[in-house]
Amino acid sequence: MARTATARLAPVALAAVLACSGDAGGPPSGGARIDYVDGALEPLLVPGEPVVVEGFSFGIAPGTVRFTRAGGGEIDATVTPEDWGDHSVTVVVPDDAASGPVALRTAGGSGVTAAVRVLPAAAFDPGGLAWRPRSQFPGPPVGVALAVAEFAATSGATATLYAAGGAEPVGPSLVPDSGIFVARVTADGTPSAWARQHDDPDPVRHRNLPAPRAFAATAIATRHNSRFAGTALYVIGGIDASGRPQASVFTADATADSVVGRFVSIEPLPAPVAGAIAVVRRGRIYVMGGVDPLGRPGRRVFVGRIGADGHIDGWYAQPELPAPRAYGGGVVLDRRVVVFGGVEDSVPLGGGLDATPSRLVTSDTAPISLASGFFRGAWTPGTALLSVGRSQFATLPLGNVVLAVGGMYAGAAADAAETLAAGVTGDVVAPFAVVATTATATIHGQGGGTVVGAAGAAWRGPDGRYHGLVLGGMDLQTRQRTAKGWGF
C-alpha span between 185 and 192 (Å, rounded)? 6
Q: Is 243 left (phi over 0), alpha (psi -120 to 50) or beta?
A: left
Alpha helices in 211-315 (DSSP H): none
Between the two ends of the chain, the Cα-to-Cα distance in Å is: 35
Q: Is the separation of the CB atoms in 83 and 120 below 8 Å?
A: no
Q: Is the separation of the CB atoms in 424 and 124 below 8 Å?
A: no
Closest CA to 378 of 312, 460, 310, 319: 319
Q: In what order do the strands lie in the sheet with 249-253?
A: 217-221, 232-236, 249-253, 264-265
Q: Is the separation of the CB atoms in 216 and 145 below 8 Å?
A: yes
pLDDT digits (tens, 9 = 90+) for 152-167: 988 889 999 999 999 9
pLDDT digits (tens, 9 = 90+) for 67-122: 999 999 999 999 999 999 999 999 999 999 999 999 999 999 999 999 999 999 99
pTM of the full structure = 0.92
Cis preceding linkage at 462, omega within 30: no
Domains of the chain: 31-118 (2.60.40.10), 126-487 (2.120.10.80)
Q: Name residue 218's amino acid.
A: T
Give Cα separations from 321 to 186, 297, 383 (angstroms). 39, 11, 15
How far does Cα 264 stand from its chain's mean position? 21
Residues in the chain, pLDDT under 70: 1-30
Closest CA to 51 of 102, 113, 108: 102
Looking at residue 229, the DSSP 8-state letter turns out to be: S
In this prediction, residue 12 carries a pLDDT of 33
Strand partners, 287: 278, 302
How far does Cα 118 stand from its chain's mean position? 20
The full length of the chain comes to 488
Closest CA to 103 of 91, 94, 111: 111
Report the run of H or E that residue 75 belongs to, with start and end. strand 74-76
